[in-house]
């Protein structure tokens, strides 16, 4: 498995197993969408799919931007910069793995750092609520995709490793798809999958896997740097 493949798999696992955090951050707006949609189940599903599509689209856009920055850095500094990008990406995976097993200290400061950006973006959502149509729900999701979240920002840092606009978008798409089951089921009041992904043993095993991917990738990146 290549370094980029391991980052992709790890980001999907982080998104899937970090569901407690995701529901905690977005649970309020998800609950509001459920209340506003009302009606039959099919209508509620459409609203929540649109909201999550908007949210994941914002993740992909942010990933594309960071991937573009990584590409620009390689263009100006040369290919020798690429291993440092991979090292940063895998160190972030180590931090995310520690978060999943219950050691969030490295993620929390990153979350606080995004509060200034969110203070400028969040007022936009006031004009989009109540979201009674699929288009409005998508727009709300696109705004809430920029919510200051340590998991998202940490995952975003790994997009540098892609070294390209589409690669960065792809990595964040993998993360976003991992977050989808928990938030979609939270909106539809389903509990079975959430019970599995929120179980301490599941999160611990997933966290160990992400941590090992990060350590392995870091060692490979260091080997390229010193080699």
The model's pLDDT over 138-157, given as tens digits with 9 standing for 90+, comes to 988 888 888 777 788 888 88
CB 139 within 8 A of CB 131: yes
The residue extents of the domains of the chain are 3-226
The per-residue b/e assignment along 53-75, b for 16 or more CB within 10 angstroms, e otherwise, is bbbbbbbbbbbbbbbbbbbebbe
The pLDDT of residue 59 is 94
Average pLDDT over the chain, rounded to an integer: 80
Residues 19-38 pLDDT 10s? 666 655 565 566 566 555 55
Residues 40-63 pLDDT 10s? 445 567 888 888 899 999 999 999
CA end-to-end distance (rounded Å), the chain = 20
Tokens representing residue 94 in the block? 């180590």
Most confident of 38-47, 100-109, 169-178, 200-209: 169-178
CB 151 within 8 A of CB 18: yes
The pLDDT of residue 40 is 47
Distances (CA, A) of 215 to 37, 157, 204: 44, 16, 16
Residues 121-139 pLDDT 10s? 777 767 777 777 888 889 8
The pLDDT of residue 174 is 94
Residue 217: which of 91, 95, 82, 106 has the closest Cα? 91
pTM for the model: 0.82
Least confidently predicted of 79-88, 105-114, 162-171, 205-214? 105-114
The pLDDT of residue 19 is 66
């Amino acid at each position: 498995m290549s370094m980029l493949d391991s980052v992709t798999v790890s980001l999907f696992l982080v998104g899937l197993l970090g569901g407690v955090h995701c529901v905690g951050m977005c649970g309020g707006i998800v609950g509001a969408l459920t209340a506003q949609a009302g009606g039959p189940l099919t209508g509620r599903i459409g609203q929540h799919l649109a909201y999550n599509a908007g949210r994941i689209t914002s993740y992909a856009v942010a990933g594309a931007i960071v991937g573009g920055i990584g590409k620009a850095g390689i263009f100006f500094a040369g290919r020798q910069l690429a291993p440092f990008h991979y090292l940063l990406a895998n160190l972030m995976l180590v931090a995310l793995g520690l978060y999943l097993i219950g050691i969030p200290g490295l993620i929390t400061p990153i979350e606080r750092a995004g509060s200034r950006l969110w203070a400028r973006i969040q007022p936009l959502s006031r004009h989009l609520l109540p979201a009674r149509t699929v288009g409005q729900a998508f727009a709300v999701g696109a705004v809430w995709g920029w919510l200051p979240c340590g998991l998202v920002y940490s995952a975003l840092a790994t997009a540098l490793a892609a070294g390209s606009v589409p690669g960065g978008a792809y990595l964040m798409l993998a993360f976003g798809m991992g977050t989808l089951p928990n938030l979609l089921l939270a909106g539809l009041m389903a509990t079975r999958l959430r019970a599995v992904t929120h179980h301490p043993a599941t999160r611990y095993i997933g966290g160990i896997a992400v941590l090992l991917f990060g350590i392995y990738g870091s060692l490979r990146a260091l080997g390229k740097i010193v080699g």
